[in-house]
Amino acid sequence: MRRLCTFAVLLFLAASIPAFANVFATVHGVVHDPQHRPVAGADITLQASDSEFILHAKTSLEGEFDLPQAPIGVYRLTVAATGFATVTAPLTIASGTNPLVHILLDVASATQTVVVEGLETSLSATDSATPTTLITRDMIDQTPGADRTIGMEMITDYVPGAYMTHDMLHMRGGHQTSWLIDGIAIPNTKIASNVGPQIDPKDIDAIETQRGSYASDVGDRTYGVFNVLPSNGFERNRDGELMVTAGNRSAGEAQLSLGDHSAATAWYTSLTGGRSNYGLATPVANIHHDATNSESGFLSLIRNQTPKDQLRLNAQYREDYFQVPYDPSLTDWEALSNYYKSYGLRDGQTERDAFILANWVHTLSPRALFSFAPFYHRNQADYDSPANDRPAATTWRQGSNYVGGQGDVHFDAGLNNFSGGFYTFYQAENDLFGVIDNTTSPSTVYGPNSGAAAAALVEGYLSDHLRLGQYVTLLGGMRFSSFHAGLNESATYPRIGATVEIPRLRWVLRGFYGHFFQPAPLETVSQSVLNYASSLPAGENTFTPIPSERDEERQFGIQIPVKGWVLDVDTVKNRVNNFLDHSNLGESNMYFPIAVDGALVRAWEMTLRSPQLAHLGQFHLTYSNQIAEQRGNIIGGFTCTSATDPACDLGFKYTPVDHDQRETLNTGFTANLPAHTWFATNVYYGSGFSNGLACSDPSTCPNNGPYADPYLPVHTTFDASAGHALGERWKVAVNVVNVTNHRVLEDNSVTIGGFHWNDPRLFSAELKYRFHF
């Protein structure tokens, strides 16, 4: 009875959820016999592979069915009809799409079941030109290190062209990514100020990563969009879960989560805390002054107010503290380097992030929906140094407030699927700056003084998906942007694409061409910062407003399903004007965003996923061959007083950016073993990041590091995890990141903590207990 009640509630909750610009989709299907005659009255069941979520439907007289508003995820689709063999097939659903499936039923005994593996191809492929990667709750739980509060493995292990360097996630050669909850974008123009995912992985049911080729309703963040389906009360009936982990480096985390649902309401909430003696990447292999701690709370509410009106609320508060690691030895080349001195620091950074997003969804008709979502976001990053730090002691406290909203209208009209809407926010920035230059005698004190600025963004869009039969979809749209900050800018940019499915082979070809306008970070400066900049002997010593990045993207891809295996290959070229990057100011630890005249990113990407192999598990592989280069001078942020200053006259030759890594590979296997046990592995290979300190003749550039090659060393690490269920209530797991403890200098750019070595061996044991309250 409890399970049937849950199914009814889930179906009712799903009935008024929109199928665009969020984490839901509608599955259309046709069921026919071997003579291609429609099969009426067939029972259709869509069952989530890792939960009790289920949707039901029956085919019409024409053999057609609809499964409305299915959340993103991995499912089993079952079709049963009297006189025919039952068909069951795996099925992956992406957000904001209307996939169309054709099911052939063979005439046979009603008790015969046919398992079809071919449908495991993402059914969004014929409805969207956007390459996507879906990460589910099970994948987060089983991937080594992926459920850590500050862990990014849930993205880097499965998304081609995604990697961590200088404590920041990079994708497709850039920094700007968007985090969405239920399709609502959390506004954030900051760069180089926060570490870790926007949402704790333990509060995520599924995350859909999109990379480029976005329809006009998705937004502007060319490099990556993370669309999160948060945990909710659908799978809880006054149930709670306590999770506790402990590991080396004095690491430990704990989370208490509770959830419940009624006939009209579902809710989920969690409290999480953790700490470790290893947080940020260190400037040397040894770990000193590198403790971190984190606390957060998350809340999700879903309310069906009427059969046509649904209300949603998601809220989070999170605080992280990081000690800034340093090099304890004056004789190490990192400490001696003229490029960066990391000896004796005692700095720390405190990060706070809070948001609240509401969403009202109204069903106008069976083919039309309207939604409106107001939001508020507060982001803060405070960097503090002891007053005697050398060469400079930094105080930099950044506070950003965003308030705005998103509205969308969606309707089907024959072969067309139209949508339109707006996205807007107002941002207020209030920062505190202070620098003590300890290279002079006596020390020179700049500030602290405060700086304030404001910005406003208003965007609108129109979009259409036109289906030309079963195999061809044309995509088109326009996005209109008006941004008022240090510069007043506007853009009206097109996005067009097409997908073509090859019959019988079921290969899907997709192509895209579009332009993107990425609003610039809102940057404040105080008089003390300007005074410090003007004291610098050369280089970046005057402030210029940052222009927004503008991208021109071309992409082509193909998806090939073979007996349950899915191979996806794409190639992309992104030509950039006003490329957004970051750079420190003098010897301080202020890392301001900057705009470089131009950049070019070219990539070839591949993903490969297997079906369940002999019921033992699944194999995955992601690979990226990427070239990320920039050209020209710094044109926004802190620039040179004189454009011809040799320190800043970079010319117009393309050169690799500091996070350019040509080859990136992740591959692994998750094995389902007997007795409710699993085992997972992942191997990461990186060919090495660009070496800004490369010097073939050490006599001409002393103390610039041990590597003369243009790229830093190749690095390979191996991760592993295993788990076991002890009955219905208890689960245990172990995770090991970098099993062999292989350490290399991974990055030598000047950001928080200076140079960066890859993560050491991190071991943890995890215990989960499920209970009823």
Eight-state DSSP code of residue 711: B
Preceding omega of 442 cis (within 30 degrees of 0): yes
**Residue 250: which pLDDT band, with cuts at 50, 70 and 90?**
very high
Q: What percent of the chain has pLDDT over 70?
A: 90
**Residue 105: which pLDDT band, with cuts at 50, 70 and 90?**
confident
| Distance between CA atoms of residues 266 and 53, nearest Å | 14
Q: What percent of the chain has pLDDT over 90?
A: 53
Q: Quote the mean pLDDT of the chain.
A: 87
| Distance between CA atoms of residues 677 and 679, nearest Å | 7
- What pLDDT, on the 0 to 100 scale, is given for residue 754? 78
- What pLDDT, on the 0 to 100 scale, is given for residue 16? 35
**Which of residues 29 and 479 earns the better pLDDT score?**
479
In this predicted structure, the answer to whether residue 124 has a pLDDT above a threshold of 60 is no
Tell me whether residue 308 is exposed, middle or buried, using C-beta atoms within 10 angstroms of its C-beta: 0 to 12, 13 to 18, 19 or more: middle
- As a three-state string, the secondary structure of 694-708 is CCCCHHHCCCCCCCC
| Distance between CA atoms of residues 298 and 770, nearest Å | 18
Average pLDDT over residues 213-239: 88
- What pLDDT, on the 0 to 100 scale, is given for residue 108? 66
Q: Contact at 8 Å (CB) between 351 and 320? A: yes
- What pLDDT, on the 0 to 100 scale, is given for residue 494? 96
In this predicted structure, the answer to whether residue 574 has a pLDDT above a threshold of 50 is yes
Residue 735 in tokens: 């995770």
Residue 386 in tokens: 């002891």
Please write the tens of the pLDDT for every residue from 166-178: 898 999 988 888 9
Residues facing residue 133 across a β-bridge = 209
Preceding omega of 448 cis (within 30 degrees of 0): yes
The tally of CA atoms less than 13 A away on the side-chain side of residue 66 is: 11
Average pLDDT over residues 174-203: 87
- What pLDDT, on the 0 to 100 scale, is given for residue 419? 92
Please write the tens of the pLDDT for every residue from 337-388: 777 777 778 899 999 999 999 999 898 887 888 999 999 999 999 999 999 8
- What pLDDT, on the 0 to 100 scale, is given for residue 623? 98
In this predicted structure, the answer to whether residue 633 has a pLDDT above a threshold of 80 is yes
- What pLDDT, on the 0 to 100 scale, is given for residue 123? 39
In terms of Cα–Cα distance, which of 501, 520, 523, 519 is closest to 510?
Answer: 501
| Distance between CA atoms of residues 213 and 221, nearest Å | 10
Average pLDDT over residues 400-413: 93
Please write the tens of the pLDDT for every residue from 201-216: 999 998 999 998 999 9
**Which of residues 11 and 92 earns the better pLDDT score?**
92
DSSP result, 307-352: TTEEEEEEEEEEEEEEEPP-B--TTSHHHH-SS---BS---EEEEE
List phi, psi (to 5°) of 534. Answer: -70, -20
- What pLDDT, on the 0 to 100 scale, is given for residue 525? 86
DSSP result, 81-127: -TTB-EEEEEEEE-TT---EEEEE--B--TT-EEE--GGGSBGGGGT
Whole-prediction pTM: 0.89
**Which of residues 660 and 613 earns the better pLDDT score?**
660
**Which of residues 46 and 247 earns the better pLDDT score?**
247
Residue 227 in tokens: 């669309």
List phi, psi (to 5°) of 8. Answer: -65, -40
In terms of Cα–Cα distance, which of 569, 562, 636, 560 is closest to 596?
Answer: 636
Please write the tens of the pLDDT for every residue from 266-295: 999 999 999 999 999 999 999 999 999 999
Q: Among 141-145, 340-344, 673-677, name the most confident range.
A: 141-145
Look-up: residue for tokens 């950074």? 349
- What pLDDT, on the 0 to 100 scale, is given for residue 589? 81
**Residue 46: which pLDDT band, with cuts at 50, 70 and 90?**
confident
Helix (H) or strand (E) holding 496: strand 488-502
- What pLDDT, on the 0 to 100 scale, is given for residue 72? 76
In this predicted structure, the answer to whether residue 109 has a pLDDT above a threshold of 60 is no
Residue 130: C-alpha distances to residues 22, 90, 94, 470, 560 (Å): 14, 21, 10, 19, 15
In this predicted structure, the answer to whether residue 659 has a pLDDT above a threshold of 60 is yes
**Which of residues 666 and 45 earns the better pLDDT score?**
666
What is the amino acid identity at position 197? P
- What pLDDT, on the 0 to 100 scale, is given for residue 154? 95
Average pLDDT over residues 759-763: 96
Residue 550: C-alpha distances to residues 127, 479, 483, 767 (Å): 26, 13, 13, 47
DSSP result, 731-770: EEEEEEESTT----EEEEEEETTEEEEPP--EEEEEEEEE
In this predicted structure, the answer to whether residue 537 has a pLDDT above a threshold of 80 is no
Least confident of 142-146, 487-491, 580-584: 580-584
- What pLDDT, on the 0 to 100 scale, is given for residue 583? 82
Residue 743 in tokens: 């350490």
- What pLDDT, on the 0 to 100 scale, is given for residue 195? 81
In terms of Cα–Cα distance, which of 379, 371, 320 is closest to 187?
Answer: 379
- What pLDDT, on the 0 to 100 scale, is given for residue 15? 35
- What pLDDT, on the 0 to 100 scale, is given for residue 120? 42
Residue 124: C-alpha distances to residues 80, 161, 268, 411, 505 (Å): 24, 21, 29, 18, 17
| Distance between CA atoms of residues 24 and 299, nearest Å | 20
Q: Contact at 8 Å (CB) between 727 and 705? A: no
Q: Contact at 8 Å (CB) between 143 and 153? A: yes
CA angle 717, 721, 722 (to 5 degrees): 155
Q: Contact at 8 Å (CB) between 115 and 88? A: yes
Helix (H) or strand (E) holding 208: strand 204-210
- What pLDDT, on the 0 to 100 scale, is given for residue 447? 87
Residue 363 in tokens: 């069903």
Least confident of 202-216, 483-497, 649-663, 691-705: 691-705
| Distance between CA atoms of residues 566 and 550, nearest Å | 33
In terms of Cα–Cα distance, which of 656, 707, 717, 654 is closest to 684?
Answer: 717
Average pLDDT over residues 306-330: 92
Please write the tens of the pLDDT for every residue from 79-99: 988 888 888 887 877 776 666
**Which of residues 438 and 241 earns the better pLDDT score?**
241
- What pLDDT, on the 0 to 100 scale, is given for residue 700? 67
- What pLDDT, on the 0 to 100 scale, is given for residue 20? 44
- What pLDDT, on the 0 to 100 scale, is given for residue 619? 94
Would you say the C-alpha torsion 628, 633, 635, 638 has a positive or negative sign? positive
What is the amino acid identity at position 214? Y
